[in-house]
Amino acid sequence: MNKRVLRVSVVFAFVFIAVRASYAVEPAATSKRVFMWRVKSTNSTVYLLGSIHVAKPSMYPLDARIEKAFSNSDVLVVEADASPDKALGLAMQMMTRASYPPDDGLDKHISKDLFDTIETRMATNGIPPAMVKGLKPWFIAMTLTLGELSDLGIDPQLGIDLHFLQKAKGKPIVELEGAEAQFSLLDGFTDKQQEDFLKFTLKDNENIAKSIDEMIAAWSDGDAKKLDDLIMQSVKESPEMQSLYAELFDDRNTKMAAKIEDMMKTGKTYFVVVGAGHLVGKTGLLQLLGKKYKLEQM
């Protein structure tokens, strides 16, 4: 297997459905708020931290309030457990999902113009045409985004999720979804949805540097409304993403909220690290959980 493809698959076995809301950020030193909320029931506490899946070294150390909440928690909760010892297995699992069988290929599932564009773009990432033909659109979209982020000096190995997975050291780890569920979602998209996702990625990556700067400001200020506005602006400007939004966010948020509600009945303290885009918006976790519990931004 091409080493770059393996590296990419390892990364996205952890990043998965990052889209725009999980780009890198650097927290402002004078920020009065952090992108974390405390949810309390009569006997349980849940800390909800908006996750940034890829980052720069300069974002560490994280705010002391975040690290203290983690230290005081009984359980670490993540979208999917991609601890370092599981990364290779997840990468192989993902590549199986991301690859067409020998008698099939990318050129049979997307337009010729888009296929030609992808061949050229992927070549700049060191992936030859023969390999590109065997990869599915959703994986190619993620690979292209990773390439753009890498060019900006952003490292997925510094993501917040991985940071806390590495620090867990015996602390129980619970998955909100799991790798298989996320692979199934991506691989379950129709040909049209996958092509739409790929087109969106090509267009979105043209302004990725500007997008990151805007995300930095919103996350650093703990500004959930601003982050939501940025996400929804992207969706509104890209009709091809509107049909996917419910599957990528709304449906998943409902299931995540239900699992978090179960945690609120256990008497334990949970530290939940979930993509920042899942917290915000009318169907985000903050709104869903706020209907039953009091939320306090840290």
Q: Mean pLDDT over residues 225-250, rounded? A: 80
pLDDT at 240 over 80: no
At 31, is the pLDDT very low, low, confident or very high (cuts 50, 70, 90)? low
Axis-axis angle for helices 137-151, 179-187 (nearest 10): 110
Count other Cβ atoms within 10 Å, centred on residue 2: 12
Q: Which residue has the higher pLDDT, 208 or 10?
A: 208
pTM for this predicted structure: 0.86
For residue 116, with 0-12 CB atoms within 10 Å meaning exposed, 13-18 middle and 19 or more buried, which class applies? exposed
Q: Which conformational region is residue 52 in: left (phi greater than 0), alpha (psi within -120 to 50 degrees), or beta?
A: beta
- Least reliable range by pLDDT among 70-74, 93-97, 152-156, 280-284: 152-156
DSSP string, 121-145: HHHTTT--HHHHTTB-HHHHHHHHH
Nearest to 82 by CA among 178, 176, 181, 185: 178
At 169, is the pLDDT very low, low, confident or very high (cuts 50, 70, 90)? confident
Angstrom distance (rounded) from CA 88 to CA 6: 9
pLDDT at 14 over 60: no
Which residues pair with residue 173 across a beta bridge?
76
At 167, is the pLDDT very low, low, confident or very high (cuts 50, 70, 90)? very high
The length of the chain, given as a count of residues: 298
Angstrom distance (rounded) from CA 162 to CA 54: 9
Contacts of 116 (CB under 8 A, 6+ apart): none
pLDDT in tens, 179-229: 999 999 999 999 999 999 999 888 888 877 777 778 777 877 889 898 888
pLDDT in tens, 261-284: 999 999 999 999 998 889 999 999
pLDDT in tens, 135-149: 999 999 988 888 888
The pLDDT value given to residue 147: 83
Chain center to CA of 224: 16
At 72, is the pLDDT very low, low, confident or very high (cuts 50, 70, 90)? very high
Angstrom distance (rounded) from CA 260 to CA 174: 11
Mean pLDDT rounded to a whole number for the chain: 84
